[in-house]
Structure 1
Amino acid sequence: MGPTDEAALELVRQLKVNAQLQQAWTTHLWQAQNGLHPASAWLLAELAQLGESRPSELAKRRMVDVSVVSRQVAQLTAAGLIERRPAPEDGRAALIRVSERGEQELVRWRRQYTDFLTDALSGWDPDELQALTERLKAANDSLRTTLDRRSGSR
């Protein structure tokens, strides 16, 4: 048996608030310190996790138009945080990766972000936090699978 309509809507509300709070903190970190849009910061972090990628692959993964990723890539390139090179199999396409400066910024950003989370969740039991993390991952996996199934992907 799945969640009631009310429980599902409350979960959506709480996830939205969580995303807004993360967005506010990211905005504070990146716009105040780097002048970057928070979406560009998240793209940089995702690129660091995935490794060298095509902008079109990142757009598909983020479920946005490639023009959105292209604008973010241009901003990150201008800031010296990513590097571009032609794709070996197709010189018209580009491959992008996080630059050395980008890696340094990500290390600094991650430290500030984890300090923020550690402070905010200092009263939590570590097992509670681990359980919440596991449940959120499972929920995200289920949401992605259902979205892919309903949109005809995969």
Structure 2
Amino acid sequence: MNPSDEVCVDLLRQIRDAHQLQQAWTLQHWHAGQGPNPAAAMLLSEIQRSGEVRLSELAKRRMVDISVVSRQVAQLAEAELIERRPSPDDGRATLVRISAKGEEHLDRWRRHHIDFVRNALADWDEAALRDLTERLGAVVDDLRTAVADTAGNAERPATGRR
């Protein structure tokens, strides 16, 4: 059974609105002088999760051109939030990893985000938030797979979250 047009539009609208609100709050925080460009900060978080990683792999995961990742990596390196080195397998490729200063920055950034969400959703029940998080995760998994399928990548990860 496929969802109706109305449900699809409503879901996309809610996802868009939530994303725009999160971006607005992040930009307010950034304009207050709290670190690098928000897109670069998100990349920093991806680098932390990945450990040492090639720029091409980051671009693939973020679904962006490598030139975008290269610019963001340059910002992060200038701020001393990451460390770069040539790949031992291929000297033309660069490996990046988060620095100690980057770890500290992400800890502060996460704390601000957690405090924001905790305050905004203080009246929500913990179980309801866990359920919402699980369901949104399943939606994101399926949307990510659909994007990959559209791009010609027919690999479909098993999510098991419905």
Range into which the TM-score falls when normalised by the shorter chain: over 0.9
Aligned ranges for residues 62-77 of structure 1 at < 5 Å? 62-77=62-77
For these two proteins, the number of residue pairs brought into alignment is 154
Higher mean C-alpha displacement, 126-135 vs 19-28: 19-28
Residue in structure 2 matched with residue 4 of structure 1 by the alignment:
4
Mark the runs of 5 or more structure 1 residues left unpaired by the alignment: none
Alpha-carbon RMSD: 1.2
Residue in structure 2 matched with residue 45 of structure 1 by the alignment:
45
Residue in structure 1 matched with residue 132 of structure 2 by the alignment:
132
Identity, % of aligned pairs? 56
Q: Deviations over 1:51-76 (max 9, x none)?
A: 11111111111111000000000001
Residue in structure 2 matched with residue 28 of structure 1 by the alignment:
28
Return closer, same or farther for 1:48/1:58 CA change in 2, 3 Å cut-off. same
Mark the runs of 5 or more structure 2 residues left unpaired by the alignment: 156-162
Q: Deviations over 1:35-55 (max 9, x none)?
A: 521101110111111111111
The residue identity in structure 1 corresponding to 2:27 is T
Residue in structure 2 matched with residue 99 of structure 1 by the alignment:
99
Cα distance in 1 for partners of 2:17, 2:123 equals 20
Return closer, same or farther for 1:85/1:31 CA change in 2, 3 Å cut-off. farther
Q: TM-score, normalised by structure 1?
A: 0.95
Bigger helix fraction: 1
State the Cα distance separating 1:134 from its structure 2 match.
0.3
Q: Deviations over 1:129-150 (max 9, x none)?
A: 0010000000111111222222
Q: Deviations over 1:79-134 (max 9, x none)?
A: 11011011010111100011100000000111111001000010001111001000
Cα distance in 1 for partners of 2:11, 2:104 equals 35
State the Cα distance separating 1:28 from its structure 2 match.
2.4
Cα distance in 2 for partners of 1:28, 1:83 equals 28
1:114 and 2:119 matched: no
1:61 and 2:61 matched: yes
Higher mean C-alpha displacement, 85-94 vs 22-31: 22-31
Q: TM-score, normalised by structure 2?
A: 0.91
The residue identity in structure 2 corresponding to 1:152 is G
